[in-house]
Structure 1
Amino acid sequence: MTARRLAPIATALLIASLVGCNPSAAKSDSKPAAPASQPGKESAAPGAPAGGNDLSLAQAIAKLPSGAEDRTGYERDSFHLWVDADKNGCDTRKKVLIAEAVKAPEQGARCALSGGEWLSYYDEVTVTAATKLDIDHVVPLAEAWDSGASKWDADRREQYANDLTADRSLVAVTAKTNRSKADRDPAEWLPPAASAQCTYGADWVGTKLRWKLTADGKERVALEKLAKACSDTVVKYEVAP
């Protein structure tokens, strides 16, 4: 699969990669990811970070600030979705679809997409119509609001909702799995494909660290439980500017 490369936008980068972290099978997930080790180099020992600036999933969870969730005043419209930041006709949704396509779609006028093929890593389903895909905020908008985004201004929330500079914050998945997830955190929902769960945990934690969002008690317990089964999962992130 083609890794996401959004060259026109050059700020912070978030990559969460998976190396044999499946808690129940020997299959790796199929979401675009940077490998934790490269051919010819030794892999990190289980539970250890792959490089000097990398964190194991357990270490990354430990860095999450604690906080109680508060949804007071939340409205989805508080986050301006799917902007066309570079004015090239392709909004955030379409940029993610183009970047994550296994087989590139054709682009027509006003970035209309036709054809193409995608692999939804949440459920390992191949999709051949862009209309059957949702773009999931790995950390849902409501969860972000609960965890600190309520204190942001409108511009900051727009940046979060359209975070193309972090490969792992937004992902194209089947509408079915996205809607089954809704605004639930890992204490309440994990991807149905066991092969996706370690990567999803890394994506979640890396996104929260990137945006300095808090984790509540139940969420942290669920993540720590997941980390025990994902000892080789590596998280890389940079704080959003």
Structure 2
Amino acid sequence: MGRQKLWWGRGLAAVTMLALAGCTVTNDAVDSKASDAAPSVSAGAPGGEADTGTLPGVPSAEQAGTELAGLKVAPHGSMAGYSRAKFPHWAQQGEKCDTREKVLERDGTNVTRDAECRAVSGSWVSVYDDKTFTSASDLDIDHMVPLANAWRSGAAGWTQEKRKAFANDLTHPQLLAVSAASNRSKGDQGPDEWQPPSKPYWCTYARAWVSVKATYELSVTAAEKNTLTDMLGTCSS
């Protein structure tokens, strides 16, 4: 029995490595600085931290607190020149799948796709408002840090290629399938202006938001930092 368990563990690790290698995307990878920053995945849920579900690269509350302390604090920059077109999405990810379809598959349960990679069935739980959906058309893919918020906090000075990487980042906790209603309620607001209706998700939300801002070296406002500190405080409540 011991040998069988050892063989199974090694086999599972090998399959996982092959699966990850097969999903590598070269054309739409995050810029070298961001991709070099290894995401810190929280192991388990220490200190009462909420389950991060399918969201990748979410740091622990402790690490998020350290990253938050290191972020530049500055007022919002200008929206002059902003356009969603300057953050090209959704990028092709291979096998006829674009970024949206990849997130829908990752975040759903029993997802089936047609020949064009469109999700035609499955079940999704919108963690922002605790609602369950069985139609992909009821879901939006939320940018954890909205494109307009990123523009005002540093992305205005990026290259188009880096903005494209940001808008299609499947490695860090930047993309999440949620209800269209909650995504549109959020808009481009920061945590000081909008928080998920489901308060138990505040811990994960704050950790993810801080991680994305730290990875891409985006600034935060004073009000944003204060609210994120309060939200991280729910991780141990």
TM-score range for the pair, normalised by the shorter chain length: 0.7 to 0.9
Q: Which shifted more, 203-212 or 70-79?
A: 70-79
Who is 1:193 aligned against? 198
Give the letter aligned to residue 113 of structure 2: Q
Give the letter aligned to residue 133 of structure 1: L
How many residues align? The count is 205
Larger Cα-atom Rg: 2
Who is 1:106 aligned against? 112
- Structure 1 counterpart of 2:134, from 128, 131, 149: 128
The reply on whether 1:207 has 2:232 as its aligned counterpart is no
Q: Classify 1:34/1:78 alpha carbon distance in 2 versus 1 (closer, same or farther; 3 Å).
A: closer
Task: Give the superposed CA RMSD.
Answer: 2.6
The reply on whether 1:75 has 2:83 as its aligned counterpart is yes
Who is 1:59 aligned against? 66
Q: Which runs of 5+ in 1 are unaligned?
A: 23-27, 37-48, 233-241
Who is 2:166 aligned against? 160
- Residue 188 of structure 1 deviates from its aligned partner by 0.5
Q: Classify 1:93/1:33 alpha carbon distance in 2 versus 1 (closer, same or farther; 3 Å).
A: closer
Q: Which runs of 5+ in 2 are unaligned?
A: 1-18, 30-34
Q: Which shifted more, 76-85 or 200-209?
A: 76-85
Higher relative contact order (CA closer than 8 Å, sequence separation 6+): 1
Local SS of the residue matching 1:186: coil
Who is 2:178 aligned against? 173
Rounded to whole Å, the distance in 2 between the matches of 1:220 and 1:84 is: 34
Local SS of the residue matching 2:178: strand
User: Contact 1:21/1:198 (CA < 8 Å) preserved in 2?
Assistant: no
TM, length-normalised to structure 2 = 0.78
- Residue 56 of structure 1 deviates from its aligned partner by 3.5
Q: Deviations over 1:104-148 (max 9, x none)?
A: x22212112211111111111111111100000000000000110
The reply on whether 1:14 has 2:61 as its aligned counterpart is no
Local SS of the residue matching 1:135: strand
User: Contact 1:56/1:231 (CA < 8 Å) preserved in 2?
Assistant: no
